[in-house]
């Protein structure tokens, strides 16, 4: 064990507090007075932030709040794409790099300046117009992590059409559901992408999905991998045929502040994913401000690498809209962390002089497991700030990140937020707030967060309970696409008048905030949100399955892992083949990320007298904990039998 690891271990078991370094305090974008200033008048704080955008018509109203519906800056007009591109080009920053693109295959790189991105977005906007896309439409984007994905998003925004980006790991069924729910008429995709050294197929999934979506009239296809794909006459168009010859000029129109910008599907507590709607001005204000202050962005010198997928909200807010609104330079990496060697990430940091690295704990834990020799073989001295997002970070991973990657001098910002919140809600501010390994510390300025009990009463320092947001904020979702009742019920009715996040949290004795994880039936696997109901729904679609109960069990690397308990219909027997088929079915219906790590076939499931499956107790079984209070069960022996079975059956992963 080297000295660094001894230092890490010495810090575990006690809660360490790291004061902001003098270096950061001297030059930080945020100052110590920011919290008080924002608290004194949050609306004025956000209005001042919003004025940093370029408006066609300046707003005069800041917030209109009729619970549970908020509008921000509603009488102003602007264009999101102009704010990301045109204004930087007009300010003479056209030669600044917007993205250093790094494809998964070695040597496949592109440098994209603000000028070239602007021109390509204009071409794509002209092409989408030609395909009939108009303001108010929705366009589905199903692409690998390549620059054209960002171009397509910004081209939609330029036209006032909302994009719905669907993660490339989702399969045809999931894709079809999302396309139908948002009533998309145009799909932008690629033949495939590069992942784990091979070409994945995307167009083939679009073709299968569109068999269920007759309303889709046009598909735009980027040639990325060169694989054979079928093109449907009249419906499908190659990007290089339709977009590339277009004019690089496109006059952008201004749209209302509340123009829908995008819909992003995420898992809730039911089998039906929710289309989370974000609108323009409030969202841009939130992500631009947080990107600048949380990451202490110096746009003319920093190289920001948000290592997330564009198919999730982190990519939308901190690869696309936040950095572009701020005129920052980002790295966009297509592939997995070990493509071309376990030091691939650190080579990218060294090659591009990455200064700000933002990723999920699951990746940090994986990189940590591979060993220090990989980061140590590279010059990482360009790094000056590290961020974490998506799930609770365990203190050991936090300390490794700080000591081995950040060499003890990079502040770590553990940022809590959600698809629904649009941008970061709780985080330390570098140079201002102290940090503790595993704590999100406090609400971002202008945001009011509390931890409350069942009755909505504040728990106070030293207490634990539910995380709520007390007041509306600019980046908050404006609703669930097509389902206003579910929006009101899910987020605003549990603690009346306050936003209910679905997370458990505690305040320590210093009043610092610790996020404990979901308290509902939402799992967090490798930072991906999955609903237990969605996986159960896939399992019972198999003819052999009578009932299924799914839980998220703690997992060292992925945070949580999917564990399923199924009972079979009569005439079917448990077998390894059946279990393999069930896992494959889940992968096919939802995507490989949802594949259960374990599936246990059991004669019965533990139920209450009213017939409700007790998932809480099944989680105890899956985590090999001693069984808690089983008195509410109709037949407690069922649970002991499952527990014995679980211990006796070798893991099938």
Q: What residues line the site for ligand PRX (CB under 6 A)? A: 266, 313-314, 389-392, 414-419, 440, 501-503, 515, 517-518, 524, 529
Helix (H, G, I), strand (E, B) or coil at 399: helix
List 523's β-bridge partners, or say none: 530
- CB contact set of 496 (below 8 Å; sequence gap of 6+): 456
Secondary structure E strands in 371-509: 385-389, 412-415, 449-452, 464-469, 479-480, 499-507
Helix (H, G, I), strand (E, B) or coil at 211: coil
- CB contact set of 137 (below 8 Å; sequence gap of 6+): 159, 161, 162, 184, 185, 186
Residues in the chain: 653
List 268's β-bridge partners, or say none: none
Least distance in angstroms from the C-beta of 633 to ligand PRX: 28
Among the listed residues 595, 605, 597, 586, the one whose alpha carbon sits nearest the alpha carbon of residue 547? 605
Q: What interhelical angle do 615-622 and 636-648 show, nearest 10?
A: 30
Nearer to ligand PRX, 357 or 544 (CB): 357
Nearer to ligand PRX, 207 or 414 (CB): 414
Nearer to ligand PRX, 158 or 528 (CB): 528
Least distance in angstroms from the C-beta of 617 to ligand PRX: 22
> Residue with CB nearest ligand PRX?
419
Using CA atoms, how far apart are residues 476 and 491, in angstroms rounded to an integer? 11
Least distance in angstroms from the C-beta of 368 to ligand PRX: 17
Using CA atoms, how far apart are residues 133 and 160, in angstroms rounded to an integer? 9
Least distance in angstroms from the C-beta of 413 to ligand PRX: 9
Least distance in angstroms from the C-beta of 426 to ligand PRX: 8
Measure the CA dihedral 630/631/636/642, to 10°: -10
At residue 149, what are phi and psi to the nearest 5 degrees? -65, -45
Nearer to ligand PRX, 126 or 363 (CB): 363
* Helix or strand holding residue 6 (H, E): helix 3-11
Nearer to ligand PRX, 41 or 510 (CB): 510
Least distance in angstroms from the C-beta of 98 to ligand PRX: 23
Least distance in angstroms from the C-beta of 244 to ligand PRX: 34
Least distance in angstroms from the C-beta of 467 to ligand PRX: 8
Using CA atoms, how far apart are residues 613 and 548, in angstroms rounded to an integer? 9
Nearer to ligand PRX, 173 or 309 (CB): 309
List Cα–Cα distances, 255 to 133, 160, 289, 338, 344, in angstroms.
15, 7, 21, 43, 42
Least distance in angstroms from the C-beta of 461 to ligand PRX: 19
Least distance in angstroms from the C-beta of 425 to ligand PRX: 9
Nearer to ligand PRX, 494 or 524 (CB): 524
Nearer to ligand PRX, 42 or 361 (CB): 361
Nearer to ligand PRX, 124 or 469 (CB): 469
Using CA atoms, how far apart are residues 458 and 452, in angstroms rounded to an integer? 4
List Cα–Cα distances, 185 to 50, 219, 278, 349, in angstroms.
32, 9, 19, 39
Nearer to ligand PRX, 70 or 515 (CB): 515
DSSP assignment of 304-326 equals EEE-S-TTSHHHIIIIIIHHHHT
């Amino acid at each position: 064990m080297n000295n660094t690891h001894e230092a890490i271990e010495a810090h575990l078991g006690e809660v360490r507090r790291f004061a902001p370094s003098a270096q950061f305090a001297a030059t930080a974008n945020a100052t110590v007075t920011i919290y008080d200033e924002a608290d004194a008048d949050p609306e004025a704080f956000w209005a001042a932030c919003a004025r940093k955008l370029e408006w066609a018509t300046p707003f005069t109203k800041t917030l209109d709040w009729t619970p549970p519906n908020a509008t921000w800056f509603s009488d102003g007009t602007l264009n999101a794409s102009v704010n990301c591109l045109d204004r930087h080009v007009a300010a003479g920053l056209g030669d600044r790099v917007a993205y250093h693109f790094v494809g998964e295959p070695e040597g496949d790189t592109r440098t994209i300046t603000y000028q070239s991105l602007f021109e390509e977005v204009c071409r794509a906007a002209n092409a989408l117009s030609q395909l009939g896309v108009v303001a108010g439409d929705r366009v589905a984007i199903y692409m690998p992590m390549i620059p054209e994905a960002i171009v397509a998003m910004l081209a939609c925004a330029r036209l006032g059409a909302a994009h719905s980006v669907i993660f490339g790991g989702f399969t045809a069924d999931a894709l079809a559901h999302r396309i139908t729910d948002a009533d998309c008429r145009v799909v932008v995709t690629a033949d495939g992408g590069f992942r784990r050294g091979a070409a994945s197929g995307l167009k083939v999934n679009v073709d299968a999905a569109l068999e269920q979506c007759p309303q889709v009239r046009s598909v735009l296809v980027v040639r990325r991998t060169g694989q054979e794909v079928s093109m449907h006459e009249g419906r499908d168009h190659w990007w290089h045929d339709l977009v590339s010859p277009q004019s690089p000029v496109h006059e952008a129109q201004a749209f209302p502040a509340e123009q829908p910008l995008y819909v992003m599907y995420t898992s809730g507590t039911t089998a039906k994913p929710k289309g989370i709607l974000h609108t323009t001005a409030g969202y841009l204000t939130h992500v631009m401000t947080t990107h600048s202050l949380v990451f202490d962005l110096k746009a003319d010198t920093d190289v920001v690498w948000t290592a997330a997928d564009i198919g999730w909200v982190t990519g939308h807010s901190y690869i696309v809209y936040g950095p572009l609104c701020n005129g920052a330079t980002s790295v966009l990496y297509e592939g997995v962390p070990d493509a071309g060697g376990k030091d691939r990430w650190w080579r990218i940091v060294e090659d591009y002089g990455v200064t700000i690295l933002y990723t999920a704990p699951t990746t940090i834990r994986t990189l940590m497991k591979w060993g220090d020799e990989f980061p140590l073989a590279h010059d990482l001295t360009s790094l000056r700030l590290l961020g974490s997002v998506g799930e609770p970070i365990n203190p050991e991973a936090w300390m490794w990140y700080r000591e081995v990657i950040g060499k003890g001098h990079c502040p770590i910002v553990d940022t809590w937020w959600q698809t629904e919140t649009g941008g970061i809600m709780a985080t330390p501010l570098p140079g201002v707030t102290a940090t503790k390994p595993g704590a999100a510390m406090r609400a971002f300025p202008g945001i009011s967060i509390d931890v409350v009990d069942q009755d909505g009463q504040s728990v106070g320092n030293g207490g634990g309970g539910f995380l709520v947001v007390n007041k509306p904020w600019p980046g908050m979702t404006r609703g669930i696409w097509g389902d206003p009742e579910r929006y009101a019920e899910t987020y605003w009715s549990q603690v009346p008048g306050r936003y209910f996040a679905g997370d458990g949290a505690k305040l320590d004795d210093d009043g610092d905030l610790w996020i404990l994880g979901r308290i509902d039936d939402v799992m967090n696997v490798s930072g991906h949100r999955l609903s237990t109901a969605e996986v159960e729904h896939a399992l019972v679609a198999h003819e052999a399955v009578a009932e299924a109960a799914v839980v998220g069990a703690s997992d060292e690397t992925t945070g949580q892992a999917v564990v399923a308990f199924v009972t079979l219909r009569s005439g079917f027997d448990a077998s390894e083949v059946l279990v393999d088929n069930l896992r494959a079915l889940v992968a096919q219906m939802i995507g490989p990320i949802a594949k259960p790590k374990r599936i246990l076939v059991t004669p019965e499931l533990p139920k209450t007298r009213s017939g409700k499956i007790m998932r809480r107790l099944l989680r105890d079984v899956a985590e090999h904990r001693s069984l808690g209070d089983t008195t509410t069960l109709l037949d407690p022996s069922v649970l002991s039998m499952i527990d014995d079975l679980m211990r006796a059956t070798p893991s099938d992963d």
